Amino acid sequence: MAGNEIFAGLGQGNVACLGECMVELVERPDGLLARGYGGDTLNTAVYLARLDVPVRYVTALGDDDLSDAMLAAWSREGIDVSSVFRVPGRVPGLYLIRTDSEGERHFTYWRDSAPVRQLFDETSAQAAEKALAAASVIYLSGISLSLFSGEARGRLFGSLGRLRQGGRRIVFDSNFRPRGWRDISDALEAYDQILRMADMVLAGEDDFKLLNQTTGASLIDFLARYELPEVVVKLMKPGCVVLAEGSRTDVPVAAVVQPLDTTAAGDSFAAAYLAARLKGMRPAKAAIAGHALASVVIRHSGAILPQDAMPADLFGTPSNLDQS
Protein backbone atom coordinates (compact mmCIF):
# COMPACT_ATOMS: atom_id res chain seq x y z
CA MET A 1 0.00 0.00 0.00
CA ALA A 2 1.34 3.47 -0.85
CA GLY A 3 2.86 5.32 2.05
CA ASN A 4 1.12 8.61 1.21
CA GLU A 5 -2.42 7.38 0.52
CA ILE A 6 -4.19 9.98 2.69
CA PHE A 7 -2.50 12.81 0.82
CA ALA A 8 -2.64 11.25 -2.65
CA GLY A 9 -3.04 13.89 -5.31
CA LEU A 10 -2.06 16.78 -3.04
CA GLY A 11 1.64 16.97 -3.89
CA GLN A 12 3.38 18.37 -0.83
CA GLY A 13 0.15 20.08 0.16
CA ASN A 14 -0.72 23.51 1.43
CA VAL A 15 -1.67 23.46 5.12
CA ALA A 16 -4.05 25.81 6.92
CA CYS A 17 -3.55 25.83 10.69
CA LEU A 18 -6.63 27.01 12.56
CA GLY A 19 -6.34 28.35 16.08
CA GLU A 20 -5.20 31.13 18.34
CA CYS A 21 -1.93 32.85 19.09
CA MET A 22 -1.66 34.79 22.34
CA VAL A 23 0.80 37.11 24.00
CA GLU A 24 3.07 34.86 26.07
CA LEU A 25 4.69 35.88 29.33
CA VAL A 26 7.35 33.48 30.65
CA GLU A 27 8.41 33.76 34.26
CA ARG A 28 12.18 33.55 34.62
CA PRO A 29 13.93 32.12 37.70
CA ASP A 30 14.53 35.69 39.00
CA GLY A 31 10.79 36.45 38.75
CA LEU A 32 11.08 38.77 35.76
CA LEU A 33 8.83 38.15 32.76
CA ALA A 34 9.90 37.68 29.14
CA ARG A 35 7.34 38.50 26.46
CA GLY A 36 6.77 36.40 23.39
CA TYR A 37 3.92 34.91 21.39
CA GLY A 38 2.55 31.39 21.43
CA GLY A 39 -0.26 28.99 20.72
CA ASP A 40 -0.34 25.30 19.88
CA THR A 41 -1.38 25.50 16.23
CA LEU A 42 0.79 28.56 15.66
CA ASN A 43 3.80 26.63 16.95
CA THR A 44 2.99 23.84 14.51
CA ALA A 45 2.62 26.36 11.68
CA VAL A 46 6.07 27.81 12.41
CA TYR A 47 7.74 24.40 12.34
CA LEU A 48 5.86 23.41 9.18
CA ALA A 49 7.14 26.57 7.48
CA ARG A 50 10.69 25.82 8.63
CA LEU A 51 10.33 22.35 7.15
CA ASP A 52 9.42 23.86 3.77
CA VAL A 53 5.70 23.08 3.88
CA PRO A 54 3.52 25.92 2.50
CA VAL A 55 1.38 26.99 5.47
CA ARG A 56 -1.13 29.69 6.26
CA TYR A 57 -2.49 30.64 9.67
CA VAL A 58 -6.24 31.16 10.05
CA THR A 59 -7.11 33.21 13.11
CA ALA A 60 -8.30 36.65 14.24
CA LEU A 61 -6.31 39.41 15.92
CA GLY A 62 -6.97 42.96 17.04
CA ASP A 63 -5.77 46.17 15.44
CA ASP A 64 -3.23 46.96 18.16
CA ASP A 65 0.57 47.08 18.13
CA LEU A 66 0.93 43.59 19.63
CA SER A 67 -1.20 42.13 16.84
CA ASP A 68 0.93 43.98 14.29
CA ALA A 69 4.08 42.54 15.87
CA MET A 70 2.63 39.00 15.72
CA LEU A 71 1.86 39.32 12.02
CA ALA A 72 5.34 40.62 11.29
CA ALA A 73 6.94 37.74 13.21
CA TRP A 74 4.84 35.12 11.42
CA SER A 75 5.65 36.62 8.03
CA ARG A 76 9.36 36.46 8.83
CA GLU A 77 8.92 32.74 9.52
CA GLY A 78 7.43 32.27 6.05
CA ILE A 79 3.82 31.80 7.18
CA ASP A 80 1.09 33.13 4.87
CA VAL A 81 -0.84 35.67 6.98
CA SER A 82 -3.42 36.61 4.34
CA SER A 83 -6.05 34.61 6.26
CA VAL A 84 -5.59 36.48 9.54
CA PHE A 85 -8.71 38.55 10.25
CA ARG A 86 -8.43 41.86 12.15
CA VAL A 87 -11.09 42.99 14.63
CA PRO A 88 -11.05 46.75 15.36
CA GLY A 89 -10.76 47.71 19.00
CA ARG A 90 -9.74 44.26 20.22
CA VAL A 91 -6.49 42.84 21.57
CA PRO A 92 -5.09 39.28 21.62
CA GLY A 93 -5.41 36.90 24.54
CA LEU A 94 -2.59 36.55 27.06
CA TYR A 95 -1.10 33.71 29.07
CA LEU A 96 1.58 33.26 31.71
CA ILE A 97 3.90 30.21 31.87
CA ARG A 98 5.66 29.02 34.98
CA THR A 99 7.98 26.03 34.55
CA ASP A 100 8.77 23.72 37.47
CA SER A 101 12.02 21.92 38.28
CA GLU A 102 10.99 18.94 36.10
CA GLY A 103 10.46 21.11 33.03
CA GLU A 104 6.67 20.86 33.24
CA ARG A 105 4.62 23.95 32.47
CA HIS A 106 1.85 25.63 34.45
CA PHE A 107 -0.43 28.07 32.62
CA THR A 108 -2.62 31.02 33.60
CA TYR A 109 -4.84 32.48 30.85
CA TRP A 110 -6.57 35.79 30.12
CA ARG A 111 -8.36 35.11 26.84
CA ASP A 112 -12.16 35.31 27.25
CA SER A 113 -12.44 38.36 24.96
CA ALA A 114 -9.84 37.32 22.38
CA PRO A 115 -10.94 38.25 18.83
CA VAL A 116 -10.45 34.72 17.49
CA ARG A 117 -13.59 33.70 19.39
CA GLN A 118 -15.61 35.63 16.79
CA LEU A 119 -14.11 33.76 13.84
CA PHE A 120 -17.11 31.46 13.35
CA ASP A 121 -19.83 33.88 14.40
CA GLU A 122 -22.75 34.10 11.98
CA THR A 123 -21.35 37.20 10.26
CA SER A 124 -17.81 35.89 9.76
CA ALA A 125 -18.10 32.11 9.33
CA GLN A 126 -18.39 32.25 5.54
CA ALA A 127 -15.16 34.24 5.23
CA ALA A 128 -13.41 31.87 7.65
CA GLU A 129 -14.51 28.86 5.58
CA LYS A 130 -13.20 30.55 2.44
CA ALA A 131 -9.84 31.04 4.15
CA LEU A 132 -9.64 27.36 5.08
CA ALA A 133 -10.68 26.38 1.55
CA ALA A 134 -7.49 27.96 0.19
CA ALA A 135 -5.52 24.99 1.62
CA SER A 136 -5.60 21.30 0.80
CA VAL A 137 -4.93 20.18 4.39
CA ILE A 138 -6.62 21.69 7.46
CA TYR A 139 -4.89 21.24 10.82
CA LEU A 140 -6.62 22.03 14.10
CA SER A 141 -6.48 20.94 17.71
CA GLY A 142 -8.66 20.35 20.72
CA ILE A 143 -7.70 23.83 21.86
CA SER A 144 -8.94 25.18 18.50
CA LEU A 145 -12.33 23.59 19.17
CA SER A 146 -12.51 25.05 22.68
CA LEU A 147 -12.28 28.61 21.35
CA PHE A 148 -15.83 28.68 20.06
CA SER A 149 -19.32 28.66 21.54
CA GLY A 150 -21.60 25.73 20.78
CA GLU A 151 -23.28 27.55 17.87
CA ALA A 152 -19.99 28.78 16.43
CA ARG A 153 -18.48 25.32 16.77
CA GLY A 154 -21.45 23.94 14.87
CA ARG A 155 -20.69 26.32 12.03
CA LEU A 156 -17.05 25.24 12.13
CA PHE A 157 -18.04 21.58 11.84
CA GLY A 158 -20.36 22.45 8.97
CA SER A 159 -17.47 24.16 7.18
CA LEU A 160 -15.12 21.25 7.80
CA GLY A 161 -17.70 18.79 6.49
CA ARG A 162 -18.16 20.75 3.27
CA LEU A 163 -14.42 21.20 2.83
CA ARG A 164 -13.78 17.50 3.34
CA GLN A 165 -16.43 16.65 0.75
CA GLY A 166 -14.56 19.03 -1.56
CA GLY A 167 -11.36 17.00 -1.20
CA ARG A 168 -9.58 18.68 1.70
CA ARG A 169 -7.95 16.51 4.36
CA ILE A 170 -8.61 17.11 8.05
CA VAL A 171 -5.78 16.57 10.55
CA PHE A 172 -6.71 16.76 14.25
CA ASP A 173 -4.41 16.97 17.27
CA SER A 174 -6.18 16.01 20.51
CA ASN A 175 -4.40 18.71 22.55
CA PHE A 176 -6.75 19.25 25.50
CA ARG A 177 -6.88 21.96 28.16
CA PRO A 178 -9.83 21.54 30.60
CA ARG A 179 -9.99 25.26 31.37
CA GLY A 180 -11.12 26.06 27.84
CA TRP A 181 -14.33 24.00 28.07
CA ARG A 182 -17.69 24.54 29.72
CA ASP A 183 -17.52 20.98 31.05
CA ILE A 184 -16.18 17.55 30.11
CA SER A 185 -19.41 16.48 28.35
CA ASP A 186 -19.16 19.52 26.07
CA ALA A 187 -15.58 18.55 25.18
CA LEU A 188 -16.45 14.88 24.61
CA GLU A 189 -19.27 15.83 22.24
CA ALA A 190 -16.96 18.09 20.22
CA TYR A 191 -14.22 15.45 20.09
CA ASP A 192 -16.74 12.87 18.93
CA GLN A 193 -17.77 15.12 16.04
CA ILE A 194 -14.25 15.91 14.88
CA LEU A 195 -13.14 12.27 15.15
CA ARG A 196 -15.97 11.30 12.80
CA MET A 197 -14.59 13.51 10.03
CA ALA A 198 -10.81 13.47 10.55
CA ASP A 199 -8.42 11.84 8.08
CA MET A 200 -5.50 11.83 10.49
CA VAL A 201 -5.49 12.06 14.29
CA LEU A 202 -2.57 12.77 16.58
CA ALA A 203 -3.89 11.62 19.97
CA GLY A 204 -2.20 11.97 23.35
CA GLU A 205 -2.69 9.44 26.12
CA ASP A 206 -2.54 12.27 28.65
CA ASP A 207 -5.35 14.12 26.83
CA PHE A 208 -7.49 10.99 26.82
CA LYS A 209 -6.89 10.43 30.53
CA LEU A 210 -8.21 13.91 31.27
CA LEU A 211 -11.10 13.66 28.83
CA ASN A 212 -12.45 10.18 29.42
CA GLN A 213 -12.10 8.91 32.95
CA THR A 214 -15.30 6.85 32.96
CA THR A 215 -14.33 4.00 30.64
CA GLY A 216 -11.82 1.22 31.04
CA ALA A 217 -11.04 1.19 27.31
CA SER A 218 -7.53 2.05 26.17
CA LEU A 219 -7.06 5.04 23.90
CA ILE A 220 -6.32 2.73 20.97
CA ASP A 221 -9.54 0.78 21.58
CA PHE A 222 -11.48 4.02 21.99
CA LEU A 223 -10.23 5.40 18.66
CA ALA A 224 -10.79 2.09 16.85
CA ARG A 225 -14.55 2.69 16.87
CA TYR A 226 -14.06 5.65 14.50
CA GLU A 227 -12.26 3.64 11.80
CA LEU A 228 -9.80 6.47 11.24
CA PRO A 229 -7.45 6.18 8.24
CA GLU A 230 -4.36 7.15 10.25
CA VAL A 231 -3.73 7.58 13.97
CA VAL A 232 -0.64 8.40 15.98
CA VAL A 233 -1.02 7.68 19.70
CA LYS A 234 1.51 9.71 21.68
CA LEU A 235 2.28 7.68 24.80
CA MET A 236 2.78 9.00 28.31
CA LYS A 237 6.08 7.15 28.31
CA PRO A 238 8.56 8.25 25.60
CA GLY A 239 7.38 6.96 22.22
CA CYS A 240 4.26 6.55 20.12
CA VAL A 241 2.14 3.96 18.35
CA VAL A 242 1.26 4.46 14.68
CA LEU A 243 -1.92 2.86 13.35
CA ALA A 244 -1.90 3.18 9.57
CA GLU A 245 -2.01 1.16 6.38
CA GLY A 246 -3.79 -1.67 8.22
CA SER A 247 -1.02 -2.27 10.75
CA ARG A 248 0.36 -1.14 14.09
CA THR A 249 3.94 0.07 14.56
CA ASP A 250 5.48 0.97 17.92
CA VAL A 251 7.98 3.79 17.47
CA PRO A 252 10.13 4.42 20.55
CA VAL A 253 12.14 7.57 21.16
CA ALA A 254 15.73 6.92 20.05
CA ALA A 255 17.23 8.49 23.17
CA VAL A 256 15.39 9.87 26.19
CA VAL A 257 16.63 13.35 27.15
CA GLN A 258 16.09 15.44 30.27
CA PRO A 259 13.78 18.29 29.23
CA LEU A 260 14.58 21.90 30.00
CA ASP A 261 11.12 23.01 28.89
CA THR A 262 8.39 20.79 27.39
CA THR A 263 6.63 23.70 25.69
CA ALA A 264 5.68 22.77 22.09
CA ALA A 265 6.92 19.18 22.32
CA GLY A 266 3.66 17.89 20.87
CA ASP A 267 3.28 20.81 18.47
CA SER A 268 6.72 20.24 16.96
CA PHE A 269 6.14 16.47 16.77
CA ALA A 270 2.93 17.15 14.84
CA ALA A 271 4.71 19.48 12.41
CA ALA A 272 7.52 17.05 11.66
CA TYR A 273 5.14 14.09 11.34
CA LEU A 274 2.79 15.94 9.01
CA ALA A 275 5.64 17.41 6.96
CA ALA A 276 7.18 13.97 6.52
CA ARG A 277 3.87 12.46 5.42
CA LEU A 278 3.29 15.28 2.94
CA LYS A 279 6.77 14.62 1.54
CA GLY A 280 5.74 11.00 0.87
CA MET A 281 7.41 9.26 3.82
CA ARG A 282 5.87 6.22 5.47
CA PRO A 283 4.09 6.69 8.82
CA ALA A 284 6.78 5.03 10.96
CA LYS A 285 9.51 7.14 9.39
CA ALA A 286 7.38 10.25 9.92
CA ALA A 287 7.07 9.39 13.63
CA ILE A 288 10.86 9.10 13.88
CA ALA A 289 11.14 12.61 12.45
CA GLY A 290 8.54 13.81 14.95
CA HIS A 291 10.49 12.38 17.87
CA ALA A 292 13.74 13.85 16.55
CA LEU A 293 12.40 17.41 16.33
CA ALA A 294 10.56 17.25 19.66
CA SER A 295 13.68 15.96 21.42
CA VAL A 296 15.56 19.06 20.30
CA VAL A 297 12.71 21.44 21.16
CA ILE A 298 12.45 20.27 24.78
CA ARG A 299 16.15 20.96 25.33
CA HIS A 300 15.55 24.67 24.71
CA SER A 301 13.50 27.24 26.57
CA GLY A 302 10.27 28.36 24.92
CA ALA A 303 8.11 27.03 22.13
CA ILE A 304 10.17 28.01 19.10
CA LEU A 305 13.77 26.96 18.56
CA PRO A 306 16.36 29.49 17.43
CA GLN A 307 16.80 29.03 13.68
CA ASP A 308 20.35 27.76 14.11
CA ALA A 309 19.15 25.02 16.51
CA MET A 310 16.87 23.38 13.94
CA PRO A 311 18.06 19.83 13.06
CA ALA A 312 19.96 19.93 9.78
CA ASP A 313 18.75 16.62 8.34
CA LEU A 314 15.55 15.87 10.19
CA PHE A 315 14.14 13.48 7.61
CA GLY A 316 17.36 11.53 7.36
CA THR A 317 17.27 10.42 11.02
CA PRO A 318 18.56 6.83 11.05
CA SER A 319 16.36 4.02 12.35
CA ASN A 320 15.93 0.30 12.15
CA LEU A 321 12.32 0.88 11.07
CA ASP A 322 11.07 1.11 7.51
CA GLN A 323 13.16 3.72 5.72
CA SER A 324 11.26 3.79 2.45
Catalytic residue among 64, 250, 267, 308: 267
Whether the CB-CB separation of 166 and 195 falls below 8 Å is answered with: no
Query: Which sign does the torsion angle of CA 162, 219, 293, 246 carry?
Result: negative
Q: For residue 322, indicate whether it is catalytic.
A: no
What are the residues whose beta carbons fall under 8 Å from the beta carbon of 90, sequence distance 6 or more? 61, 62, 63, 64, 113, 114, 115
SS3 312: coil
Q: Count CB neighbours of 88 within 10 A.
A: 8
**Sheet with 230-234, edge to edge strand ranges:** 84-86, 55-61, 15-18, 137-141, 169-173, 200-204, 230-234, 239-244, 247-252
Q: Count CB neighbours of 258 within 10 A.
A: 8
Whole-number Å distance between alpha carbons of 181 and 215? 20
Active site residues: 267
